[in-house]
């Protein structure tokens, strides 16, 4: 990291985060001035106005410019999607437990006086609440319906198209289509032109500002002149150099965020579409590797300047401002051959040096991934930022084709949106974060006659319970009835939510960079994309499998535990039943230990769920499918689940990740975990799966260790597991493990001659290991 980057990084991290109402003010005004126009036109006009009016700044040291607010990392209040939660929570933003923002008192006042009153009955959030709020609330303990107060996002635009054409040429195409169309189609193209006009103005404004500033900053005037030249050029023609490509890319993402204020627009396969710019500049001598890295790191900093303001509840589910600029490097090309290039390594290098939370860097692996890329990626993992995460071409491509009907070419070109959600590049609205289905809560209701174990409320019909089922098979039937009931309710709600998005949040600019919207003359929210999916997350396979297996084995097969007693124990959160709880924990096999029976038990119900999804078509006419990831939702979703038969106490977190075993239950090491996870069919995770693992830093200390890690990753590839990411165990983890051994039962450490479970070691030995596991060492 050179001086410029270091300076920019420190400055960015030092700046306070504020909630911003600037764009909300503009949007509200434009809506009020255009009351009689359609929502689509109001949306386009208000984006155009924001692009023309929002205050912009340039740091004379930065080489890539642009942001959607004056301050960096601001939380943007966005009234069209929803702001009644802002009204409720505005004052709490600086003090809430997760993802805090500073607020200005005058902003709160203005928001309450002139912004919020206008939107009270107009925002999408309000509309959904009015029309279907009660129903969504009624199922909320089992199903969390997402996207009810913000735009969907989670999309990988066609960046290549944007780089090759730029706003001016795309505008030209839209313009030419206006005269050949009529009605809503005609208006769609007109709106697109309006937003692209805004985009062009936006770029000119940066060019003009840079020009103006260069006189006041003689020490940076060369850089500012280059910025001016670059922005002005991009306003009317395609990108011509590596630097221009990066600047153009960044403008695209800033504008997408200004239009949608949504989580996750993905740059996708950056190494594939940037390589020609890079090689041309290197060949001509206009660029060297050092400068390319500096430019890349400037862009990397930009990815950290847009964060996402979520409501209090949502911040808990998605903690840490994840905004999901997901970049995927490596992977196969359209012919199926492995492809990685100088840009792949440049991306890894930038991540290695900066270690910031964004972008969300992903490496695509396949059987032919080069040793060099593997080793570089492993070196970055060793740094401990949790990145890059790894995706597996061998698991993903075939299931996209077989289960979703994606063409071979598109499947091979998959990218990642958000955290781990899968998408084709530039032509898909995956609606990947549609809902989270809490299978563990459904099981609780099945055991407990449809009654909430925590509150005692009846949540659904009494289909039976653990104490009335004569066999495990009977219990399975009750469980599936409950799952069925909630699936039906969930899909009804999904339709309402998608409909509200179409009505409230048509997105003309986004549609300009997603195929086939332009060709079809159809907005992306209305089904304009080539692929239209909806993704439901199944939560959480580990707890579900472990609980069912404990009931099957200990209650029905071995009759060690009486059904009535178990129910009573669960209702009492094991108070007075500590021995029974210990039995549940220790005397029934657990998912994640390479034990076929229990692994397949979890998969069986997930497969049932996946099959049920095939019966539905979403509101855009596309397929509904499933994923297995939670981000941080395993914590709040666990709060809502009573004591479970896997021995877990009421309210404790569920297993993390999505495909990971429960905390501390994987006692046979990392290879057994991969074997267990590999028993989940790929079709369950076409929307994305998430597997978390922890390794000790000493593992990465030696070349031998890194070689073994590569073997591990290659086996991961062969086992066709869709995803894996690694955390490096830190000193604090070990201190925690010493204090809370029950949560770290499976943590193993190398005790010189052998490997042992950390929590079973003597305190003195633990201290010695803690001492030697210094994170700073790597």
Report, in Å, the least distance between residue 50 CB and another protein: 47
The nearer residue to another protein, 472 or 757, going by C-beta atoms, is: 757
Which helix (H) or strand (E) segment is 679 a member of?
none
- Is 579 a residue that touches another protein (CB under 8 A)? yes
Report, in Å, the least distance between residue 582 CB and another protein: 4
- Is 583 a residue that touches another protein (CB under 8 A)? yes
Longest dimension (CA), the chain: 85
Report, in Å, the least distance between residue 584 CB and another protein: 9
- Is 705 a residue that touches another protein (CB under 8 A)? yes
Q: How far is Cα 112 from Cα 119, in angstroms, rounded to an integer?
A: 11
Residue 522: count other Cβ atoms within 10 Å of its Cβ.
18
- Is 151 a residue that touches another protein (CB under 8 A)? no
- Is 401 a residue that touches another protein (CB under 8 A)? no
Binding track, positions 49-88, relative to another protein; x by CB under 8 A: ----------------------------------------
The nearer residue to another protein, 189 or 574, going by C-beta atoms, is: 574
Under DSSP, the state recorded for 448 is: B
The nearer residue to another protein, 499 or 738, going by C-beta atoms, is: 738
> Which residues, including other chains, have CB under 8 Å from residue 616's CB and lie 6 or more apart?
491, 624
- Which stretch in 7-15, 413-421, 542-550, 714-722 sits in contact with another protein by CB under 8 A? 714-722
Contact positions with another protein (CB under 8 A) in 591-650: 594
Q: How far is Cα 753 from Cα 764, in angstroms, rounded to an integer?
A: 17
Q: Where are the beta strands (DSSP E) in 451-575?
A: 531-532, 534-539
Helix then strand count (H, E) for the chain reads: 31, 17
Query: Reduced to 3 states, what is the DSSP secondary structure of residue 222?
Result: helix
Report, in Å, the least distance between residue 693 CB and another protein: 11
Judged by CB under 8 A, the residue of 519, 582, 604, 615 near another protein is 582
Under DSSP, the state recorded for 278 is: H
The nearer residue to another protein, 58 or 737, going by C-beta atoms, is: 737
Q: How far is Cα 603 from Cα 598, in angstroms, rounded to an integer?
A: 9
Judged by CB under 8 A, the residue of 699, 721, 729, 773 near another protein is 699
Contact 292, 384 (CB under 8 A): no
Contact positions with another protein (CB under 8 A) in 679-698: 698
Pick from 483, 435, 395: which is nearest to 691 by CA?
Answer: 395
Q: How far is Cα 32 from Cα 213, in angstroms, rounded to an integer?
A: 35
Judged by CB under 8 A, the residue of 83, 209, 348, 382 near another protein is 382
Contact 347, 271 (CB under 8 A): yes
CB contact burial 649-666 (16+ within 10 A = b; e otherwise)? ebebbbbbbbbbbbbbbb
Contact positions with another protein (CB under 8 A) in 423-482: none
- Is 355 a residue that touches another protein (CB under 8 A)? no
Which helix (H) or strand (E) segment is 723 a member of?
strand 723-728
Report, in Å, the least distance between residue 739 CB and another protein: 13
- Is 371 a residue that touches another protein (CB under 8 A)? no
Judged by CB under 8 A, the residue of 714, 730, 743, 767 near another protein is 714
Q: If you count them, how many residues does the chain have?
A: 778
Residues in binding contact with another protein, number by CB under 8 A? 49
- Is 712 a residue that touches another protein (CB under 8 A)? yes
- Is 280 a residue that touches another protein (CB under 8 A)? no
Contact positions with another protein (CB under 8 A) in 652-681: 668-672, 674-675
Report, in Å, the least distance between residue 366 CB and another protein: 16
The nearer residue to another protein, 639 or 698, going by C-beta atoms, is: 698
Report, in Å, the least distance between residue 387 CB and another protein: 18
Contact 266, 416 (CB under 8 A): yes
The nearer residue to another protein, 508 or 749, going by C-beta atoms, is: 749
Q: For 678-726, where are the alpha helices, taking DSSP H only?
A: 703-718
Q: How far is Cα 674 from Cα 712, in angstroms, rounded to an integer?
A: 9
Instruction: Please give the span between the terminal C-alpha atoms of the chain, in angstroms, as a whole number.
Output: 17
Handedness of CA 618, 622, 623, 624 (dihedral sign): negative
Radius of gyration of the chain (CA): 26
Judged by CB under 8 A, the residue of 35, 219, 335, 704 near another protein is 704
The nearer residue to another protein, 57 or 672, going by C-beta atoms, is: 672
The nearer residue to another protein, 234 or 674, going by C-beta atoms, is: 674
The nearer residue to another protein, 36 or 704, going by C-beta atoms, is: 704
Judged by CB under 8 A, the residue of 6, 701, 732, 771 near another protein is 701
- Is 405 a residue that touches another protein (CB under 8 A)? no
Q: How far is Cα 152 from Cα 82, in angstroms, rounded to an integer?
A: 13
Report, in Å, the least distance between residue 603 CB and another protein: 18
Contact positions with another protein (CB under 8 A) in 719-778: 719, 741, 750-756, 759-762, 765, 768, 777-778
Q: How far is Cα 691 from Cα 678, in angstroms, rounded to an integer?
A: 11
Report, in Å, the least distance between residue 590 CB and another protein: 12
- Is 587 a residue that touches another protein (CB under 8 A)? yes
The nearer residue to another protein, 207 or 595, going by C-beta atoms, is: 595
Contact 154, 262 (CB under 8 A): yes
Q: Is 644 left (phi over 0), alpha (psi -120 to 50) or beta?
A: beta
- Is 708 a residue that touches another protein (CB under 8 A)? yes
Handedness of CA 655, 656, 660, 662 (dihedral sign): negative
The nearer residue to another protein, 621 or 753, going by C-beta atoms, is: 753
Binding footprint of another protein on the chain (CB under 8 A): 379, 382, 578-580, 582-583, 585-587, 594, 668-672, 674-675, 698-705, 708, 711-712, 714-715, 718-719, 741, 750-756, 759-762, 765, 768, 777-778
């Amino acid at each position: 990291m050179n001086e410029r980057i270091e300076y920019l990084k420190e400055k960015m991290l030092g700046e306070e985060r504020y909630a911003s109402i600037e764009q909300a003010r503009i949007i509200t005004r434009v809506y009020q001035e255009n009351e009689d126009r359609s929502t689509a036109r109001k949306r386009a006009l208000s984006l155009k106005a924001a692009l023309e009016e929002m205050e912009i700044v340039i740091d004379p040291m930065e080489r890539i410019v642009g942001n959607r607010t004056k301050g960096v990392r601001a939380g943007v209040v966005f009234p069209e999607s929803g702001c009644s939660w802002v009204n409720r929570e505005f004052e709490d933003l600086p003090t809430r437990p997760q993802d805090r923002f500073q607020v200005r008192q005058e902003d709160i006042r203005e928001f309450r006086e002139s912004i919020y009153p206008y939107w009270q009955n107009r925002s999408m959030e309000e509309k959904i609440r009015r029309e279907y709020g009660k129903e969504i609330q009624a199922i909320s303990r089992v199903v969390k319906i997402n996207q009810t107060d913000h735009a969907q996002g989670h999309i990988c635009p066609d960046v290549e198209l944007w780089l090759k054409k730029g706003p001016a040429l795309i505008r030209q195409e839209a313009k030419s289509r206006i005269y050949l169309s009529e009605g809503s189609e005609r208006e769609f193209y007109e709106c697109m032109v309006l937003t692209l006009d805004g985009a062009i103005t936006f770029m000119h404004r940066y060019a003009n500002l840079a020009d103006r500033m260069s006189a006041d900053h003689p020490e940076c005037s060369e850089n500012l002149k280059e910025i001016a030249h670059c922005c002005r050029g991009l306003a009317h023609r395609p990108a011509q150099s590596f630097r221009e490509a990066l600047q153009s890319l960044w403008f695209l993402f800033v504008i997408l965020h200004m239009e949608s204020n949504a989580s996750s627009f993905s740059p996708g396969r950056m190494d594939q579409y940037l390589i020609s710019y890079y090689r041309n500049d290197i060949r001509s001598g206009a660029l060297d590797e050092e400068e390319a890295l500096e430019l890349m790191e400037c862009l990397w900093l930009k990815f950290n300047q847009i964060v996402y303001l979520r409501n209090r509840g949502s911040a808990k589910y998605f903690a840490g401002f994840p905004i999901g600029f997901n970049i995927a490097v490596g992977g196969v090309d359209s012919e199926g051959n492995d492809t990685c290039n100088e840009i792949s390594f440049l991306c890894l290098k930038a991540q290695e040096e900066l270690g910031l939370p964004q972008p969300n860097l992903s490496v695509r692996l396949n059987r032919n991934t080069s040793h060099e890329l593997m080793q570089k990626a492993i070196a970055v993992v060793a740094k401990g930022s949790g990145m890059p995460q790894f995706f597996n071409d061998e698991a993903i491509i075939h299931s996209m084709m077989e289960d979703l009907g994606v063409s071979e070419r598109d499947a091979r070109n998959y990218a990642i949106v958000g955290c781990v959600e899968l998408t084709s590049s530039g032509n898909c609205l995956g609606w990947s974060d549609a809902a989270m289905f809490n299978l563990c809560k459904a099981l609780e209701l099945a055991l407990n006659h449809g009654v909430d174990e925590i509150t005692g409320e009846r949540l659904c019909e009494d289909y039976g319970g653990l104490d009335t089922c004569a066999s495990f098979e009977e219990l399975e039937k009750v469980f599936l009835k409950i799952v069925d009931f909630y699936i039906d309710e969930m899909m009804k709600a999904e339709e309402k939510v998608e409909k509200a998005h179409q009505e409230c949040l048509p997105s003309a600019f986004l549609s300009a960079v997603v195929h086939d919207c332009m060709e079809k003359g159809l907005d992306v929210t209305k089904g304009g994309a080539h692929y239209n999916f909806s993704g439901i997350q199944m939560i959480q396979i580990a707890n579900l499998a472990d609980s069912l297996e404990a009931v099957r084995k200990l209650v029905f097969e071995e009759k060690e535990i009486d059904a009535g007693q178990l129910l009573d124990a669960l209702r009492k959160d094991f108070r007075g039943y500590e021995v029974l709880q210990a039995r549940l924990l220790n005397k029934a096999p657990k998912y994640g230990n390479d034990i076929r029976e229990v692994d397949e038990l979890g998969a069986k119900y997930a497969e049932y769920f996946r099959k049920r999804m095939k019966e539905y078509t979403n509101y855009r006419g596309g397929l509904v499918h499933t994923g297995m990831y939670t981000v941080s939702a395993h914590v709040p979703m666990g709060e809502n689940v009573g004591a479970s038969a896997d021995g877990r106490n009421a309210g404790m977190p569920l297993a993390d990740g999505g495909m990971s075993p429960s905390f501390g239950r994987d006692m046979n090491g990392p290879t057994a975990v991969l074997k267990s996870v590999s028993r989940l069919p790929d079709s369950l995770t076409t929307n994305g799966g998430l597997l978390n693992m922890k390794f000790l830093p000493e593992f990465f200390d030696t070349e031998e260790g890194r070689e073994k890690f590569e073997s591990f990753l290659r086996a991961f590839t062969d086992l066709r597991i869709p995803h894996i990411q690694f955390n490096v165990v830190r000193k604090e983890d070990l201190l925690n493990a010493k204090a809370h051994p029950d949560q770290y039962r499976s943590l193993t450490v190398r005790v010189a001659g052998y490997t042992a479970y950390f929590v079973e070691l003597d305190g003195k030995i633990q201290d010695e290991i803690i001492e030697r596991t210094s994170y700073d060492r790597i």
